[in-house]
Amino acid sequence: MAKIFKFFLQAKYGHLPEGFDRWELTDYEGRTVAHVAARHGTLPPGFDRWDLADKSGETVAHTAARHGRLPSDFSEWELTDKDGRTVREIWQERQDAS
């Protein structure tokens, strides 16, 4: 368990090892390593698991959009979460609120 926790800290602070590919690992709240990295803006260039959903049904893309962390070349705007909301909708709400 401590080894898995290490990955969440590394994701938060942008120190995951090169070639890391265990994005689906979850913590006790059902968040994945990818969701933690998305929230903190530490996903690596070329990340391609945007559709990975956490326990609540939110995709990595939705988390990144909610926190203003989508890369400039992001193109999967029509991904939906468990409620049918697109990444574009989440991003637009964030833009409208700021």
pLDDT of 1 reads 58
Query: Which domains, and CATH codes, for the chain?
Result: 2-97 (1.25.40.20)
DSSP structure string for 37-88 = HHHHT-PPTT---TT-B-TTS-BHHHHHHHTT---TT---TT-B-TTS-BHH
Which stretches of the chain drop beneath a pLDDT of 50?
none
Tokens of 39: 């929230």
Whole-number percent of the chain with pLDDT over 90: 91
pLDDT of 24 reads 97
Residue 23, beta-bridge partner list:
none
pLDDT of 3 reads 81
Measured CA to CA, the distance from residue 57 to residue 75 in angstroms comes to 20
pLDDT of 72 reads 95
